[in-house]
Structure 1
Amino acid sequence: MGAERAGRRRPLVRRIALLSCGGVLLSACASMPSSGEPEPVDASPNKPKVRVFAAPPKDDAQPGEIIDGFLETLTGDDPDFSIARKYLTADAAKDWDPDSSTTILADGPKAGPQKPEQGQGQDSQSRTYQLTGTRVATLDADHAYRPELEAPDYAEAIQLVKEGKKGNEQWRIASPPQGVVLGEPDFQRLYKPVDKYYYASGDSRGDEANPPSDPLVADPVYVRGDPDPQLTDVVEELLAGPTNWLDTVVSSRFPSGTALRKGTKELTPDDQKHLRVPLNKKADDIGQDRCKEMAAQIYFTLNNLTAPSGIDQVELLRSDGASSLCVLGRSEAQTFAPDAAAKPKSQYFVDKKHRLVQISKGAEEPTAVPGALGEGKQELRSAAVSRNEKWGAGVSGDGRSLFIGALIDKTQSEKTQVTSTAEKEGDRLTAPSWDGRGDLWVADADPKKPRLLWLAKGQGEPVEVGFDRPLGKDGIGRVKAVRVAADGVRIALLIEKDGRTTLNVGRIERGSKGGVPQLTVAELRPAAPKMEEVTAVSWAGGSRLLLVGRAVEGVQQMRFVQSDGSLLPDEPTLPGLADVTAVSAAEAPDLPLVARSETDGIVRLVDGEDWKPVDKDGTAPVYPG
């Protein structure tokens, strides 16, 4: 029976630590284990990088060894899964689709013989096993990450049969698991997050930044690559189109059916950091303006993957592989940047006089903003600044009213038509948020009538935003904080329900009826599923969020997460800060983080340093947005 027990994984592939020492590859830095469970991989920067080399099945391997070997190949250096298919029957090898999904289990799949009453009996020609584990998340066919909250228990039966010529029959898997199944440590080693970029549909930024097209929107996916994805694979992911979650609100500038030129094997920037991308005939006749929009999608999708040097130029080629369609350089690409206001002039907060103040670049002391919001006549408890830093919005000290004022002159602030009638101050208006289109968002946390409101350019009659499920205690819950992404397509919400506040990200669908704008937040998804409570959040560029929260039975922590709910193991650990009530990050990663602590007031964190005090009595820190 020992040879047929698949519960004890036999490493039939080679796990080798690779060290680069003076350009020499040291494959002898680690020994090859012959028994026992695989050890978790420590992928910290100072540790050896581990690669797993897949191996085909041995002759006369027993069923348990076949299952173990197949599961191990799914974690190995087998990019087209050709070795994995060697463990399958001929028919199963044709039908199995590893790209259909990727199931991520906490500790990897465990396998054991299935009980006869659960399935087929065991005989000399077939065996049935059960794969089990605790599901953490799934990558769907779009390679989008979906945390698992409802049904974490994973169980799937796989059948083995004998196949081959008589006298040389070999055990093979006739019914493999759907897609790829692997443990979370292997997933984090093998799959890398990539933000694909598409254009927001049906709206422009107006006078906010005046770019030549609709804003670019980050669409996060995971691409397999050990140690890193090939740029060719990433471009193919981009050309395949947006994920289902974003498909209704974004579009690609690439003509339908556009693909890489047949025979394109590897895309690599040259010594001048120029990348040439040959396309098929579908793109041969597009004009210069559209071509540059296409090139911008590639530029921003690939730029972070080619860090630290990045790409200086993207050139798109016609289907002949030689003639140029267009060239987009680094400086011109910035006109398409996902947030044209990624480099704000100042950081802002509310001081002890309840005024909106700013700390400009290079300044040591805060100064009141120009205009009425900086005069202190109307006490504020929270505020937001438009991304062009020309307008401010603030919630009154009692939380009942929303005000708007220019930040460029002494004009008076204006009270908007947004008011809350909630009995308790803490149940009234949330801090507002500006999107990249110049529109203003705020929520009313009134338990009796929770609402999310939108004001075009921050003025006029507010529009109540709909949801695909109702708000309230019997529905989604009530919104306690609002942060809209620069693209105006994605929105991060802290939602309280049954005494628990969670972080969710939804997409914003826009339309109109009778000339009246209609907006809906659809398909809210958890962005911090491992956090029991989230108390503050800020966008931090692309699909990245900075949050303050607490894990189950844990202490408060501040960390970066992906908007799809995944956690990146290589994200920097932030220095500790006690009793944080608010946090803000800029789209540009090189700008300091700003937070408010009950004990330290307003503080700033510059990369590589510790938190530094700014204002002991300040509250509500924000960057534009």
Structure 2
Amino acid sequence: MSRRQIHQGMRLRALATTLLVCVGLVGCQGIPSSGPVHEGLERLSQADQPVQFNPGGPAQGASQEDIVRGFVSAAASSADDYATAREFLAPEYSDDWDPSLGVLVDEGTQQYREAEENVGVLSLSAIASVDGRGSLQPVGPGAATEVRFEFAEIGGEWRITSAPAGIILDKSTFAAVWTPLQLYFLSADNRLVSDTRWFLNRATISTQVVGELLEGPTEQMIEVVRSAIPAGTVLAAGAVPVVDGTARIDLSAELLDADAATMELVKRQLGASLQSVPNVARFELLVNSSLIESGTVIAADTTSPTAENLYVAGLKDGEFGPISAGDVTVLPGIGARIAQLEPSAVTLAPDRGSAAVLHQGAVSWVSPDDQVVVDVRGDLIAPSLDRFGHVWTYSSAAPGEMLVTKPGERSTLLQMPWLGGRVPVAVRVAQGGNRIAVLVVDAASPDQSKVLVAGISRDESGVPVALTDIANTELWVPGTPVDLDWIDDERFAAVTRAGASGKVTQGVLGQFAVESGVVPGAVSLSGGGNRSLLRVLDDDGRLYAPQGSGWQRQLDGIALVAKVG
């Protein structure tokens, strides 16, 4: 491993500690470093931003508070490696402050107080943090986040001698100068799997996208996905210029270790990851300036249901099947079997050819030709059914364990160490089969709910072998938890309850959640496998569909609405 790579690894580990300290109400000290700035974030300080911020430097005679506020404001501009922001720092500290170590995003209200002599504290209402690799996580509501600054008098003027690593931006500024893009890695069966990253919105964004692909998956997903790009491959030219719509990617000789099949996977990763980069339609792969391969940007593989399976299904008047024109049509093959079980929850396979059914204290797998009981433990919740045919069941009688069963074959218990004693209300496997989401009550705040998302490690045949040791909190939302479902492989929806109101919130992995209105008495929802098929059911059997910013009552007398996957 090169000295540069060692420094980058150390920086990423330091970043995790730094942001946890910031968010945990502890004063943050600047962390001097001697290695190079992380490739992905530094490169974008070399070009002009589409949105320009031109903050001024420190005013003569400025107070310590003025210096802090000016410094925070100036960090909105990364021009010339944050040159204006560095003017607020003491000369000996200016080179040590590292803005590449992430972003703390706040609501915009910042209270300043003097903590002690030559020490000030800025209190923030933080809503998210972005690490040095561009991964965003929401910050839980509650007490203010406090960050610490130290000062010295330099030539009769106050300057900062210690500040939080990374930068602080309010949400509107952050959204103006940073943008979310999808990077793509590979599952065990070589399907493309997305990973949302935030990048400075600059002309050199192609360099950062390729740089992050070369860095590989995040720590959480390292056992879930992989990159086809041979280990040790780096940018030979240090940048990815875009010429007439073609991104020229000049890589080191390690790329030549890829055989023909691997090279096709490399091209798929690059083509999908570059599809959202402005003005890029094609790419060329070079090694030491010699053209090796070329390709076009492509849409990623989709796990969405095919057109013939795009419908909402439910149970009404003892019949189970697609809901259309105000009625339910029996689903061929399995609809009658499901209805006979008198289900309390149903999850259909993505192809609608089989189902996992919760009924009378058990979960059964139903197909046109068979019916198999897969779990009889008590306190079961709605099951999941992944694209490989595995039924996922959770019982609060066996906390912290997920039972995964391939009907007619074997069962496996997967550990969920990140639950930490919390009781899931809903557990759902994403359509791609690479992530699992869990809706729980926040242990510290019973009136708050949150969604945890972990990765699923599988072997090449699709058999789940483990859940990741890390689960990211992808959503904090007020109210007690009611239900959760995936809309597609990147988006999910949750229902929480405050009094009689069922609040619907839509989340996107690695992005900000969106409040999606209220359905009084909401008891369950279905993502449907497509955003247009999102449905909410209330406690009187009324089914609601989204309309504008609200919900429209669509049908009455529905006993349950099915989930997919």
Q: TM-score, normalised by structure 1?
A: 0.71
1:138–1:145: 8 Å Cα contact kept in structure 2? Answer: yes
When residues 617 and 149 of structure 1 are mapped into structure 2, their CA distance, relative to the original with a 3 A threshold, is same
SS of 1:380's equivalent in the other structure is: coil
Does the 8 Å CA contact 2:399/2:421 hold for their aligned counterparts? Answer: no
* Distance (Å, rounded) in 2 between the aligned partners of 1:485 and 1:174: 47
1:240 match: 215
1:305-361 CA-partner distances (Å, limit 9, x unpaired): 65xxx97x543321355624142464xx55xx152646561324332244431258x
Report the residue type matching 2:225 in the other structure. V
Q: Give 1:97 deviation, angstroms.
A: 1.0
| Equivalent position of 2:433 in the other structure | 488
Match of 1:352 among 311, 316, 320: 316
Q: Which residue of the partner structure matches residue 167 of structure 2?
A: 180
Structure 2 residue corresponding to 1:319, chosen from 277, 287, 305: 287
Question: In the alignment, what sits opposite 2:272?
Answer: 300
Partner of 2:477: 530
| Partner Cα distance (1:381, 1:329) in 2 | 45
Where does residue 363 of structure 2 map in the other structure?
402
Q: Specify the SS of the correspondent of 1:233.
A: helix
Which residue of the partner structure matches residue 330 of structure 2? 368
Any conservation in 1 of the 2:393–2:402 contact (CA below 8 Å)?
Answer: yes
- Structure of larger gyration radius: 1
1:250, CA displacement in angstroms?
A: 1.9
Which runs of structure 2 are paired with 1:29-108 in the superposition (5 Å)?
Answer: 52-58=53-59, 63-76=64-77, 78=79, 80-108=81-109
Match of 1:430 in 2: 381
Aligned equivalent of 1:141: 132
- Report the equivalent of 1:225: 201
Pair 1:539 & 2:486 matched:
yes
Where does residue 262 of structure 2 map in the other structure? Answer: 290
Q: Which moved more, 1:502-511 or 1:216-225?
A: 502-511
SS in 2 for 1:395: strand
Summarize deviations over 1:514-552 as a string: whole Å, max 9, x none. Answer: xx975345333333223232312222234322222247x
* Distance in structure 1 (CA, Å) of the matches to 2:128 and 2:384: 31
| 3-state SS of paired residue (1:242) | coil
Aligned pairs for 1:159-238 (under 5 A) are 159-163=150-154, 171-200=158-187, 203-204=188-189, 213=190, 215-225=191-201, 230-238=205-213
Contact 1:54–1:77, Cα closer than 8 Å, also in 2: no
Counterpart residue number, 1:593: 534
Q: Residue 253 of structure 1 aligns with which residue?
A: 228
Please name the residue that 1:124 is paired with: none
Q: 1:234 to 1:268 in 2, by over 3 A?
A: farther
Residue in 2 aligned with 1:559?
505
Q: CA deviation at 1:508?
A: 3.9
Change (3 A) 1:197 1:108: farther
Query: Aligned letter for 1:358?
Result: P
| Equivalent position to 2:416, from 467, 474, 489 | 467
Tell me the distance in 1 between the aligned counterparts of 2:83 and 2:252. 27
Query: Residues 325 and 495 (structure 1 numbering): CA distance in 2 closer, same or farther, change over 3 Å?
Result: same
Alpha-carbon deviation of 1:576?
4.8
Structure 2 unaligned blocks of 5 or more = 1-49
Q: Distance in 1 between matches of 2:425 and 2:353?
A: 26
Contact 1:192 1:229 in 2 (8 A): no
Note the C-alpha offset of 1:275: 5.1
Moved more, 152-161 or 84-93: 152-161
Contact 1:533 1:549 in 2 (8 A): yes
Contact 2:447–2:479 under 8 Å retained in 1: yes
3-state SS of paired residue (1:75): coil
Aligned residues: 510
C-alpha contact (below 8 Å) 2:314/2:562 kept by paired residues? no
Equivalent of residue 419 in structure 1, options 366, 376, 380: 376
Say which structure is richer in helix.
2
- With over 3 angstroms needed to count, the CA separation of the structure-2 counterparts of 1:69 and 1:339, relative to structure 1, is same
Q: Which one of 564, 583, 592 corresponds to residue 525 of structure 2?
A: 583
Structure 2 equivalent of residue 453 of structure 1? 403
Residue among 148, 153, 157 paired with 1:157: 148
Alignment RMSD, CA only? 3.7
CA–CA distance in 1 between the matches of 2:448 and 2:410?
29
Cα pair distance change 1:394/1:600, threshold 3 Å: closer
Go from structure 1 to structure 2 and tell me whether the alpha carbon gap of 1:69 and 1:346 turns closer, same or farther (over 3 Å shift).
closer
Give, as a single letter, the amino acid of the residue that structure 2 aligns with 1:604.
A
Deviations 1:60-110 (A, max 9, x none): 655444333211111236373122223223331221111223223443544
Contact 1:416 1:460 in 2 (8 A): no
SS at 1:235 equivalent = helix
1:388 corresponding residue in structure 2: 351
* Map of 2:44 onto structure 1: none
1:403 is paired with a residue of what secondary structure?
strand
Give the TM-score of the pair, scaled to structure 2.
0.77
Whole-angstrom CA distance in 2 between matches of 1:253 and 1:371:
40
Q: Which amino acid aligns with 2:426?
A: A
- Counterpart of 2:150 in 1: which secondary structure? strand
1:441 Cα deviation after fit: 0.9
- What is the rounded CA distance, in whole Å, between the counterparts of 1:518 and 1:77 in structure 2? 44
Unaligned runs of 5+ in 1: 1-48, 117-126, 205-212, 423-427
Find the residue that maps to 2:269 and give its secondary structure: helix
Q: Hey, what's the Cα distance between the residues in 2 that align with 1:72 and 1:380?
A: 57
Deviation of the 1:455 alpha carbon = 1.0
Q: Secondary structure at the match of 2:485?
A: strand
Identical positions, percent: 19
Cα 1:268–1:350 change in 2 (3 A) is farther
Find the aligned partners of 1:98 and 1:391 in 2 and give their Cα distance.
Answer: 51
Residue 430 of structure 1 and its aligned partner are, at CA, apart by 1.9
Conservation of the 8 A alpha-carbon contact between 2:343 and 2:357: yes
Change (3 A) 1:450 1:52: closer
User: Against the structure 1 CA distance between its residues 299 and 617, is the aligned structure 2 distance closer, same or farther, given a 3 Å change threshold?
Assistant: farther
Q: Which structure would you say has the larger RCO, counting Cα contacts within 8 Å and 6 or more residues apart? A: 2
2:557 aligned residue: 617
Residue 241 of structure 1 aligns to which amino acid in structure 2?
G
1:29-64 alpha-carbon deviations (Å, 9 max, x no partner):
xxxxxxxxxxxxxxxxxxxx9853233335665544
Q: What letter matches 1:557 in structure 2? A: K
Q: Distance in 2 between matches of 1:286 and 1:114?
A: 57
Change (3 A) 1:586 1:371: closer
Secondary structure in structure 2 of the residue aligned to 1:53: coil
The one-letter code sitting in structure 1 at the alignment partner of 2:373 is T
Cα distance, 1:73–1:385 mapped onto 2, change above 3 Å: same
For 1:367, the aligned partner's letter is T
SS at match of 1:195: strand
Tell me if structure 2 keeps the 8 A contact 1:234–1:302: yes
Task: Kindly indicate whether the alpha-carbon contact (under 8 Å) linking 2:439 and 2:450 is maintained by their aligned counterparts in 1.
Answer: yes
